[in-house]
Amino acid sequence: MTVPCPPFALTDRAGETRRFPTGRPSLIAFIKEDCHTCNLAAPLLEAFHLAWGEAADVLVLGQSSEGNDILQDRHGFTLPFLDDSACKTSFAWDFEIVPAVYWIGADGVVKTKLEGFVREEWQALDRQIAADLNAAPAVIAWADLPDWRPGCGSKHLDPEIHDKLQAEADDSPIRARRIEIATADDIAEFMFDQGFSDGLPLIPPTAERVIRMLAGTPRAPQDIVAVVPPNMAPVTVEKIAINAVMAGCKPEYLPVVIAAVEAVCTDEFNMHGVTATTMGASPVLVVNGPIRERIGMNMRLGAFGPGNRANATIGRALRLVVRNVGGAQPGGVDRSTLSSPMKFTMCFAEWEEGSPWEPLHVERGFKAEDSVVTAFAMTSGPVQIVDQESRGPDQMGGTLGLGLESMFLSKIRRMHTDALLVVCPEHVATLTSEGPYSKARLRERIQAVTMRPMRDMVANEISGAGITQAMAAKMTDAQLDTPVSKFASDAYIHIVVAGSDAGKFSAAFHGWVTGPMGSISVSRKIEY
């Protein structure tokens, strides 16, 4: 150090407060009990104290309260042995190895620093201190000591301790309000009581956990990512990180969560409407690009189900941001009649490598090497489409179309509503069994097999839904016999591939209202 060392005030074993600097030359040493080299150095530090304690301050700082008691008993220190079990002073002095020893002038500036044990270096330190103090060297049998011993990592560098200390530092990126909880309180129950939870237990967002989470993105913690409906509350990277911690994310998932928040907080996606509708709509996230493999997302066996941390926690983190920052809580703005388990989480990756088609993000204008998350507003799903018998491509396409016909209700047609069709690998194999089978052809097939005459949409004794009798009375027979497709446009049918190699079971997610009066799917590039 070329500037004065950080000051400290610590208690010794007798409970007396010892302060640094004192205006005198000082020998400061940091040790811990479970370090063999620290125990090797401990008698040398005691010898230094006995030799120069009248002319200089020899202060030894121990890094654990129980370990300090053991060291005191083991070595019988008469030197001032101070308690740095919180490791705050160790953190401030910023070294890596114990024993760490500093010979410091009266001005507080380091003259010599040693880490670990090299006999020649310690002997040189002995001579330097003696010369500086115009005193005799310490009485030490140097020949009995080894030439070299490696030190140990300082305790303040343990991840749990270091991250907590970093979070408490003056330049900590943490700015969110801290909530103090009594030691006897149950943290999990407290978070339930405060309404932070989606109904499942949460990971406590301690400062050190949030610090680790923030390491997952290059973005500054106080960058405002979006304004979150329905409360239109600004959300920073830090606040997203807090909710990602609670959801159980790893730091490497954070860029995906950030991009997902950006996507759903756009005017096009209309998160307020998605939240408020009584239909129970919720975001469904599809991830594409290299990040799928990088963070271990599931796109194969059980892609929609439990067992994969990335899939489960990314979707949950997004929902917690909308809930805790945006204020979208059930019974408040969220007025879903039945709601949906997708309001806990729904996120999966497309199996691009198993698809004969362009992946979703490339269709939507991104490069193949980009990592992208796409958000769809869906009201139900995944609804399975079962076909174990079809052998021809158009047969298979017909089955997928009939599976989509029930969306909302088979009588409802010309739908301005997105559908997300997830085709399993065995169904893909059937579709391509006679050669290439494009997405455009599949969409055309879906529209063709779901064509029904307008009169099938008229309310009747079976169902009062659809075109009213009064409206039908104003139509000609030709109009009533006109075939009508399920979807108002092929553009509403989105197609991806996922699932295991075994099993002829595709699935569909049924959308909400698509367009300016509802929700438009949004894609965002993931920056990491």
**In the chain, what percentage of residues exceed pLDDT 70?**
99
- Here the contacts of 14-18 (C-beta below 8 Å, separation 24 or greater) are 18/59, 18/80, 18/82
Tell whether the model's pLDDT for residue 364 goes beyond 80: yes
Residue in this structure with the two tokens 């018998």, named with its chain if needed: 389
Tell whether the model's pLDDT for residue 160 goes beyond 80: no
pLDDT band at residue 163 under the 50/70/90 scheme: confident
pLDDT at 172: 77
Tell whether the model's pLDDT for residue 46 goes beyond 60: yes
Tell whether the model's pLDDT for residue 133 goes beyond 80: yes
Tell whether the model's pLDDT for residue 1 goes beyond 70: no
How far is residue 388's CA from residue 378's CA, in Å, rounded to a whole number? 27
* Euclidean distance between the first and the last CA atom of the chain, given in angstroms as a whole number: 35
Q: What's the average model confidence in pLDDT over 461-468?
A: 93
Q: Distances from the Cα of 96 to the Cαs of 7, 60, 85, 92, 335, in angstroms? A: 19, 16, 16, 12, 55
pLDDT digits (tens, 9 = 90+) for 260-318: 999 999 999 999 999 999 999 999 999 999 999 999 999 999 999 999 999 999 999 99
Q: What's the average model confidence in pLDDT over 516-524?
A: 96
pLDDT at 20: 96
Tell whether the model's pLDDT for residue 81 goes beyond 70: yes
pLDDT band at residue 110 under the 50/70/90 scheme: very high
Task: For 372-434, give the secondary structure using H, E and C.
Answer: EEEEEEEEEEEEEEECCCCCCHHHHHHHHHHHHHCCCCCCCCCECCCEEEEECHHHHHHHCCC
How far is residue 391's CA from residue 389's CA, in Å, rounded to a whole number? 6
pLDDT at 169: 77
pLDDT at 175: 79
Tell whether the model's pLDDT for residue 355 goes beyond 60: yes
Tell whether the model's pLDDT for residue 147 goes beyond 80: yes
Tell whether the torsion through CA atoms of 125, 129, 135 and 139 is positive or negative: negative
Mean per-residue pLDDT of the chain: 95
Task: For 90-134, give the secondary structure using H, E and C.
Answer: HHHHCCCEECEEEEECCCCCEEEEEECEEHHHHHHHHHHHHHHHC
Please list, in sequence order, all residues whose beta carbon lies within 8 angstroms of the beta carbon of residue 57, skipping any fewer than 6 positions away. Answer: 20, 22, 24, 25, 26, 27, 80
Residue in this structure with the two tokens 């055309």, named with its chain if needed: 444
- DSSP 8-state secondary structure symbol assigned to residue 242: H
pLDDT digits (tens, 9 = 90+) for 209-225: 999 999 999 999 999 99
Which of 303, 316, 324 has the alpha carbon at shortest distance from 344?
Answer: 316
Task: Identify the burial level of 39 via C-beta atoms within 10 angstroms of its C-beta, where 0-12 means exposed, 13-18 middle and 19 or more buried.
Answer: middle
Cα angle vertex 231, ends 256, 243, to 5°? 35
Tell whether the model's pLDDT for residue 29 goes beyond 60: yes
How far is residue 292's CA from residue 41's CA, in Å, rounded to a whole number? 50
| Cis omega (within 30 of 0) for bond into 205 | no
Ordered by where they begin, the domains of the chain are 8-157 (3.40.30.10), 187-450+485-525 (no CATH)
Q: Please, how many CA atoms are within 13 Å of residue 301, restricted to the half-sphere of its CB?
A: 3
Q: What's the average model confidence in pLDDT over 159-172?
A: 79
Q: What's the average model confidence in pLDDT over 136-165?
A: 92
pTM: 0.78
pLDDT at 4: 86
Confirm if 325 and 177 have CB atoms less than 8 A apart: no
pLDDT digits (tens, 9 = 90+) for 368-389: 999 999 999 999 999 999 999 9
Confirm if 408 and 415 have CB atoms less than 8 A apart: yes
pLDDT band at residue 170 under the 50/70/90 scheme: low
How far is residue 413's CA from residue 109's CA, in Å, rounded to a whole number? 81
Q: What's the average model confidence in pLDDT over 485-511?
A: 97
- At 271, the amino acid letter reads M
Alpha-helical runs (H) found in 295-339: 309-324
pLDDT digits (tens, 9 = 90+) for 191-248: 999 999 999 999 999 988 999 999 999 999 999 999 999 999 999 999 999 999 999 9
Which of 217, 126, 96, 139 has the alpha carbon at shortest distance from 526?
Answer: 217
pLDDT at 156: 95
Higher local confidence (pLDDT), 163 or 66: 66
Secondary structure class of 314 (helix, strand, coil): helix
Confirm if 224 and 261 have CB atoms less than 8 A apart: no
Please list, in sequence order, all residues whose beta carbon lies within 8 angstroms of the beta carbon of residue 274, skipping any fewer than 6 positions away. Answer: 264, 281, 282, 283, 377, 512, 519
Tell whether the model's pLDDT for residue 357 goes beyond 80: yes
pLDDT digits (tens, 9 = 90+) for 385-424: 999 999 999 999 999 999 999 999 999 988 999 999 999 9
